Amino acid sequence: MKRKKQNPVIVIALSAVLFALCVLLFLLLRAILSGREIRTDSCKPSAAGEIAVMTPAPTLLDLYAYFDWTETTRIKVYDHRADKLVDMDLEEYIVGVVSAEMPAYYSFEALKAQAVASRTYTLYSMAHGGCHTNPDADVCTNSKCCQAFSTHERMQNTWKNDYADNYNRVAQAVMGTAGEVLVYDGKLCDALYHACSGGQTEDSEHVYANALPYLRGVSSPYEDPMREDDAAFDTDALVELIAAKYPESGITKDNVRDGIAIEKAYESGRVETLRLGKTTITGKQARNLFGLRSTMFTVEWTGKGIVFHVKGYGHGVGLSQNGANGMAKRGSDYREILLHYYTGVSIADYGADGITEKASPAPQNTDGLFVPEG
C-alpha cells in the first residue's frame, strides 16, 4: 500500500509537542519521587553538630541503609511496664535508652557520647549475667535495675509535636556511632554514667565495691546545667526521720543540733561518713535517708531546722551527662568527651576479636546503679 506523503511542517510541529510532553512528564515524575525519598544529602550531622530533620521520623531500616550498617545484634529486653520480654535489635534498643536517659535537646555530640556509653554498658551487662532481676532478659527497662528505656509510644506521648525532630536527633546519634564501644585493656568497660557530677566525678570504689582503672574521679568543669538543690527539714521532721531509721543514734530534739556532723569527705567533696548522734552512717545512707540528689552535700542549720545544700545528681561515677553537654557546647566531640570521663579507655568496634571476652568483675551494685534522674 502506498503511504500518503506527510506535510513536513505538521511533522515538525507534532514532534515539538511530543518532546515538550516528554520533558513535562520527566519533571513531574522527578518531583513525585524526590518527595518520597529521605533527603540523605542533608541529614548527616554537620561539623557544627547541626542536623537536618527527616520527616516523617525514619524507620530503623532507613537509618541502617543511610549509615550503611548491616550488622545486627539481637537482645532480649524485659519491658517492665508491659510485663513482657521483647526480642530487639541492639541499636534500636539504644535509641530507646538514649531517648529516656538524656534530654533530646542536649548537644548532638553529648547524645553520641551517651549512645556509646549506653551501648557499652548494655554489652558489658550481657557479658556479666544480664539483668539481675529478670533472669530471662539481657536487660530490663527499669532505670533502678538496668537503664531507662522509651518505646515509640512513650516517645510520642512525651515529645508530642517534637516527636519526629527528637527521634531523628537521637536515632542519628545512635546510628552515627553504631557498634562503637569503650574498651580498656582490650575488654568491654562497665560504662557507668550519671546526670550531673557537681564538678568532680568519683572513684568507683567510693560508690561501688571495686576500684576500676577507667572509673577514676576527674574534674568536670562544664556541667550544663549544674544541679544545685536544697533539701530542708524542720527539726521535728528531722528527728522523726532519724529516730525511725536509726534509733540507736539516740537523736532527740534536744541534742540534734550537736548530733549531726559530716565526719569524713572524699577529695571530690562527696560525703564519706556522717555522724548521727551515737552512730555513724555512710554518705550513701545519708543520701537515701534524706532523699538527696547526691552525696556531695554540706549542712546548714537555720532557725527552723536543717538545710542540706546538694551539688550534682546521681552517683557521680563515669560519664556526667550534663558535663558531656557542657563539653560538647564548647566544641568537644563525643570521642573527646568519652576519653575525658573514662580514664585510659579506647573506642573500638563491638565484635572485633577480644572485645566480647569477659572483663574484670562488675562492681557490686550496693544501692542501685541508676537512680531515677530528673
Helix ranges, 205-344 (H): 235-245, 256-259, 283-290, 321-329, 334-341
The single residue among 54, 75, 145, 286 that binds Zn ion, judged by CB under 5 A, is 145
Q: Interacting stretch for Zn ion, rule CB under 5 A, among 44-52, 133-141, 284-292, 353-361? A: 133-141
Q: Does 192 bind Zn ion (CB under 5 A)?
A: no
Q: Which of residues 113-132 bind Zn ion (CB under 5 A)?
A: 131
Q: SS3 for 279? A: strand
Which of 140, 338 has the CB closer to Zn ion? 140
Q: Does 178 bind Zn ion (CB under 5 A)?
A: no
Q: Does 54 bind Zn ion (CB under 5 A)?
A: no
Q: Does 90 bind Zn ion (CB under 5 A)?
A: no
Distance from C-alpha of 308 to C-alpha of 297, rounded to nearest angstrom:
6
Q: How many residues bind Zn ion (CB under 5 A)?
A: 4
Backbone φ and ψ for 286, nearest 5 degrees, come out as -65, -40
Residue 137 CB, shortest distance to Zn ion, in Å, is 7
E-only strand ranges, the chain: 74-79, 84-89, 139-140, 180-184, 187-188, 193-194, 228-234, 260-265, 271-276, 279-282, 297-301, 305-311, 319-320, 346-349
Residues in the chain, overall count:
374
Q: Interacting stretch for Zn ion, rule CB under 5 A, among 49-57, 144-152, 190-198, 225-233? A: 144-152
The single residue among 90, 116, 140, 170 that binds Zn ion, judged by CB under 5 A, is 140
C-alpha cell at 360: 574484670
Q: Does 110 bind Zn ion (CB under 5 A)?
A: no
Distance from C-alpha of 241 to C-alpha of 287, rounded to nearest angstrom:
13
Q: Interacting stretch for Zn ion, rule CB under 5 A, among 68-76, 136-144, 188-196, 204-212? A: 136-144
Q: Does 369 bind Zn ion (CB under 5 A)?
A: no
- Residues near Zn ion (CB under 5 A) are 131, 140, 145-146
